[in-house]
Amino acid sequence: MSTKVDPFVQHFRASAPYIHAHRGRTFVIMFGGEAVASKDLRTLLYDVALLHSLGVRIVLVAGARPQIDEALARRSEESRFEGDLRVTDEVALQCVKEAVGATRVELESLLSMGLPNSPMSGARLRVATGNFVMAQPVGVLDGVDYQYTGKPRRVDSEGIRQRLDDGAIVVLTPIGYSSTGEAFNISSHDVASAAAIALGADKLIGLLEGQGVFDAEGLNPSQLTPHEAERYLHSGRDLGHDVERHLAAAIEACQGGVPRAHLVARQSDGALLRELFTRDGVGTMVTSEAFEGVRPAVRSDIGGILTLIAPLEEQGVLVRRPHEMLENDIDKFTVIERDGMLVACAALYAYPGESIAELACLVVHPDYRTSGRGGQLLQYLERQCGARGLRRLFVLTTQTSHWFREHGFDNCELDELPKSRRSHYDQGRRSKILLKPLG
């Protein structure tokens, strides 16, 4: 049998951990009225249907800003904004109802598709909409009466949960209702973050109209803490209204307990799937969780460590370590975990009587090399040595001596090693011995 794996099979298999991880989770997905008006809406909804069929509980929040503006223009009325907030008078409210109603019907129609030979074939989706969001008027701010512009007062999370339990996709619109029997126009971003918080959603996903979030150097950060996202918002740079609104909603959701908020460029085909089913995604994730971190290894890491070191043992870069040895030595290992996967490991064997330690088994996963992780792990272990009063660190290596020399190690002789280690030096392997005095 050929060992070459078909790329389709390879990708499908690689997405398996994400399929398992996302099943039964609640995702709130928000997009603007531009997405509803776009010809790509079908493809987006195909992907939403696919997520649903994989067991994801989905709440869609669809904006309708351009549709509302168009409805006003048809009446020869101007859209009136104060900052980013619409002032909704009686006429504007009428336009909001009209635009939101049409948006809702469009989504319900497309989610009902089921033609044979289409990606929706056999999907039989049920869509639930309703008065899930209660609103209160924004009121008068700085002398401006916002009239029928509202903000979320309460989200009927129980009602939404029941529909999700029933297998429906819930669609929320930028309208909220009040106990006075009135309707208010609410920003869809506010609806989305309030719903995600009230539902205890696992993710808030914002589909951006532009290319994404970029820093001052033009780079797209894959991850931000809410604090860093705040710095982006208040940097004074023009991020564009769309990015700013999505970032603000992501920050609010994270601060309200939603573990992860993703910002994904909608117009890049399949971006939603690539964000959710590949390790590094394609958008920006705002999270207060440690997505990647250095930590001491535990027994359940043995499998991951074996996966990291086995190819290098095969190549003779590392000395073979039997499984039992790894089990016994697991407390000597430190790992870097990235989104549930071990991407680097190293072991530290201390000889406290001689204030020296051996660094062994330093490996960074090939996909994650040359991004400083090797150096990061080394620094972490050096700090550990410092805390334990170990003043020198040595390593035995056949192929990586230059890397260590660039990190402050120097060649040394066998007799500089602890006595008990010298007798285990493999003369056949002829590893180079490098030593680093620690500050």
Ligand X SMILES: CC(C)(COP(=O)(O)OP(=O)(O)OC[C@H]1O[C@@H](n2cnc3c(N)ncnc32)[C@H](O)[C@@H]1OP(=O)(O)O)[C@@H](O)C(=O)NCCC(=O)NCCS
Q: Choose between 277 and 394: whose C-beta lies nearer to ligand X.
A: 394
**Any bridge partners for residue 434, and if so which?**
395, 411
Tell whether residue 33 is a contact of ligand X (CB under 6 A). no
Chain position whose Cβ is nearest to ligand X: 374
Q: Choose between 120 and 395: whose C-beta lies nearer to ligand X.
A: 395
- Answer for the pair 176, 135: CB distance below 8 angstroms, yes or no: yes
Please select the residue that binds ligand X; options are 316, 372, 386, 437, rule is CB under 6 A: 372
Tell whether residue 395 is a contact of ligand X (CB under 6 A). yes
Please select the residue that binds ligand X; options are 52, 104, 266, 373, rule is CB under 6 A: 373
**CA pair distance 256, 252, nearest whole angstrom:** 6
**Which residues 235-274 are close enough to bind ligand X by CB under 6 A?**
none
Q: Which two tokens stand for residue 117?
A: 């030979």
Tell whether residue 11 is a contact of ligand X (CB under 6 A). no
Tell whether residue 370 is a contact of ligand X (CB under 6 A). yes
**Which residues 207-236 are close enough to bind ligand X by CB under 6 A?**
none
Q: What angle do CA 325, 326, 328 make, to 5 degrees?
A: 65
Binding region for ligand X (CB under 6 A) out of 59-67, 96-104, 270-278, 356-364: 356-364
Please select the residue that binds ligand X; options are 399, 416, 419, 437, rule is CB under 6 A: 399
Q: Residue 363, Cα to own-chain centre: how many angstroms? A: 25
Q: Choose between 46 and 333: whose C-beta lies nearer to ligand X.
A: 333
Tell whether residue 362 is a contact of ligand X (CB under 6 A). yes
**Least separation in angstroms between CB 428 and ligand X:** 17
Binding region for ligand X (CB under 6 A) out of 87-95, 111-119, 370-378, 381-389: 370-378
Please select the residue that binds ligand X; options are 125, 272, 364, 433, rule is CB under 6 A: 364
Instruction: Print the binding letters for residues 317-346 with ligand X: x by CB under 6 A, - otherwise.
Output: x-----------------------------
**Least separation in angstroms between CB 292 and ligand X:** 13
Tell whether residue 45 is a contact of ligand X (CB under 6 A). no
- Answer for the pair 432, 398: CB distance below 8 angstroms, yes or no: yes
Q: Choose between 26 and 397: whose C-beta lies nearer to ligand X.
A: 397
Q: Which two tokens stand for residue 254?
A: 């994270």
Binding region for ligand X (CB under 6 A) out of 178-186, 229-237, 246-254, 369-377: 369-377
Tell whether residue 291 is a contact of ligand X (CB under 6 A). no
Tell whether residue 400 is a contact of ligand X (CB under 6 A). yes
**CA pair distance 262, 271, nearest whole angstrom:** 11
Q: Choose between 151 and 373: whose C-beta lies nearer to ligand X.
A: 373
Q: Choose between 1 and 219: whose C-beta lies nearer to ligand X.
A: 219
Tell whether residue 75 is a contact of ligand X (CB under 6 A). no
Binding region for ligand X (CB under 6 A) out of 85-93, 110-118, 167-175, 392-400: 392-400
**Chain residues that interact with ligand X, rule: CB under 6 A:** 312, 317, 362-364, 369-375, 395, 397, 399-400, 402-403
